Amino acid sequence: MPVPDPVAAEGKGHTVVEDAPLEGRNTFRVKARAHLLVDVRHADALPELFAQPALQSLPLLVLGEGSNLLFAGDWPGVVLAIAARGIRVLEEDDTGALVRVEAGENWDDVVRWSIGHGYAGLENLVMIPGTVGAAPIQNIGAYGVEVREFVHTVEAWDRTQSRLVRLDNAACAFGYRDSLFKQDPGRWIVTAVEFLLPRRREPRLGYAGIAEELAAIGMATNGDGGPTPLAIAEAISRLRTRKLPNPALIGNAGSFFKNPVVDADTAERLAATHPRLPQWAADDGLRKLSAAWLIEQAGFKGYRDGDAGISDQHALVLVNHGRASGADLLRVARHVATGVHARFGVKLEPEPRIVGASR
Ligand code: FAD
Ligand code: EPU
């Protein structure tokens, strides 16, 4: 069936496209269409937009750079992307600053801005794809740091109350790859995040590989003899580039499954039979297991079914070798989760949000 040309319309602070293709807006690069795609340039366009009956009645999906989404099919409602940009220092003293960043900024640009302006802390989160607006949704984390450590306030449009709200760190209920926002998709549209960025911070170097990589690049030092945030960012960029497949070359959304969090008894039982299974301490005395290890040991690293598969570079990454549909990718993901459960009795949960009706 021929696909009709998209129809574009300009509104105050936003653009609307009907029946819009989303293939270029998700890092899996799967084909999907949105009934309406709305690009919002200024967050102050939101009240007027949501006053329109169509936007109230249709299902809403907020889209950043599409690096943590799997379109299992078309989106029958509104896809809304916040393009608002800007980084502004609100308050500053010798110890650090409160910095407001609009939701449409690219996360990695903000990390590099913070390093360039002499702040410390975000360097471990270098090279995570996506927007600032999406960062609090799953409380992005990498190399021993999570964004919740820096979030002071999240500003969001609350569709339930039809108004802009400000949520402090505690109200965001951050957890491992989790938050208030992730628990209630469709309710919140993050418009800006305010970060507390310190000038000095104890470098976080405990994650496997960081120290070795720093040594390999001849570790730049700060006044105390420790590595600078810039050196840490460089070391982690090198690790990430080596470990993870590049979405510009092969469609993927980073880790497809969360690392399973289990109670201490279960972890010990598994350690007794699988002593090489990597485990880490998690919140509340729980233990986090390496999903990548479980998947690799279950024999799925490099697995392929048509164009959908598991990366041969990293076992936690579901990949689109070319023309896989969202449904093809989902089928492989389910097959892998079933295989891991059968072998180890451990359940794997997807990390990215799975959206759209299956074709
Ligand atoms: P999208 O994929 O567009 O959206 C993700 C979710 O957030 C959706 O539910 C969406 O509705 C919601 N959302 C997006 N913007 C808003 C908003 N403004 N308001 C409300 N809801 C919103 N993640 C990590 O935590 N650590 C990593 O190390 C990491 N590495 C990755 C490596 C690769 C190669 C890739 C492809 C992904 C990786 N990810 C990682 C996942 C991804 O980068 C993050 O989840 C990122 O925050 C997603 O940003 P996005 O703008 O692409 O969001
Ligand atoms: N491993 C394997 N096989 C593999 C890859 C890894 O057995 O193919 C084992 C290794 O023993 C390795 C361990 O898994 O030591 C951990 O691997 P890695 O350091 O790559 O981290 P991860 O647990 O697989 C998590 C996050 C990543 C984040 C890295 C670094 C989740 C779901 N994933 O991956 O986040 O970048 O740690 O902190 O927590 C993402 O969320 O999209 C993401 C990429």
Cβ atoms within 10 Å of 353's Cβ, excluding its own = 15
* Domain contains 331: yes
Please state, rounded to an integer, the average pLDDT across all residues of the chain. 94
Q: Which atom of ligand 2 is nearest to the CA of 258?
A: 32
In this predicted structure, what is the pLDDT of residue 3? 38
Residue 358: pLDDT over 70? no
pLDDT at 19 over 60: yes
Two tokens, residue 148: 């919740």
- CA distances from residue 91 to 6, 15, 84, 122 in whole angstroms, order as listed: 44, 33, 21, 18
- Nearest Cα residue to 14 out of 84, 88, 70: 84
Q: How far out from the chain centre does Cα 287 lie? A: 22
| 1 in any annotated domain | no
Last residue of a domain, one of 211, 242, 273: 242
**pLDDT score at 137:** 98
Number of the ligand 2 atom closest to the C-alpha atom of 296 = 3
Ligand 1 and 252: CB distance under 6 A: yes
Give percent of the chain with pLDDT exceeding 70: 96
Q: What is the pLDDT of residue 59?
A: 94
- Last residue of some domain: 216, 242, 268? 242
Q: DSSP letters along 176-223, please?
A: TTB-HHHHSTTTEEEEEEEEEEES-------STTHHHHHHHTT--B-T
What confidence tier does 226 reach under pLDDT thresholds 50, 70, 90?
Answer: confident
Mean pLDDT in residue range 46-51: 90
Tell me, in angstroms, the distance from the centre of ligand 1 to residue 135's CA.
6
Answer yes or no: is 2 within a domain. Answer: no
CB of 259 closer than 6 angstroms to any ligand 2 atom = yes
Paired residues of 81 in beta bridges = 39, 63
Tell me the CATH number at 278. Answer: 3.90.78.10
Q: Which atom of ligand 1 is the closest one to the Cα of 104? A: 18
Same domain, 76 and 91: no
Q: Are residues 233 and 264 in the same domain?
A: no
Q: What are phi and psi of 56, to 5 degrees?
A: -80, -35
What is the pLDDT at residue 359? 45
23 and 71 fall within a common domain: yes
- What is the rounded average pLDDT of the residues 353-357? 89
Check 67, 114, 255, 325 and give the catalytic one: 255
Domain range enclosing 173? 87-242
Ligand 2 within 6 A of 254 CB?
A: yes
Report the distance separating Cα 301 and Cα 304, nearest Å. Answer: 9
Q: What mean pLDDT is predicted for residues 323-347? A: 98
Residues 6+ apart with CB under 8 A from 127: 108, 111, 236, 237, 240, 241
Instruction: Tell me, yes or no, whether 102 and 213 share the same domain.
Output: yes
Examine the fold and report which residue of 213, 242, 271 is the final residue of a domain before the chain moves on: 242
Residues 6 or more apart whose Cβ sits within 8 Å of residue 48: 11, 12
Label residue 222 by pLDDT band (50, 70, 90): low
Which pLDDT does position 173 carry in this prediction? 98
How far apart CA 16 and CA 9 sit, in angstroms, is 5
Residues 158 and 59 reside in one and the same domain: no
Q: Does the active-site annotation cover 351?
A: yes
* Per-residue pLDDT, 4: 38
CATH number of domain containing 59 = 3.30.43.10
174 compared with 14, residue with greater pLDDT: 174
Mean pLDDT of 116-130: 98
pLDDT value, residue 179: 98
User: 143 CB under 6 A from ligand 2?
Assistant: yes
Distance 142 CA to ligand 1 centre (A): 13
pLDDT score for 221: 67
Query: Tens of pLDDT along 282-295?
Result: 999 999 999 999 99
Q: 117: alpha, beta or left, given left = phi > 0 and alpha = psi -120 to 50?
A: alpha
Q: What is the pTM of this model?
A: 0.97
Report the distance separating Cα 120 and Cα 143, nearest Å: 15
pLDDT for residue 220: 65
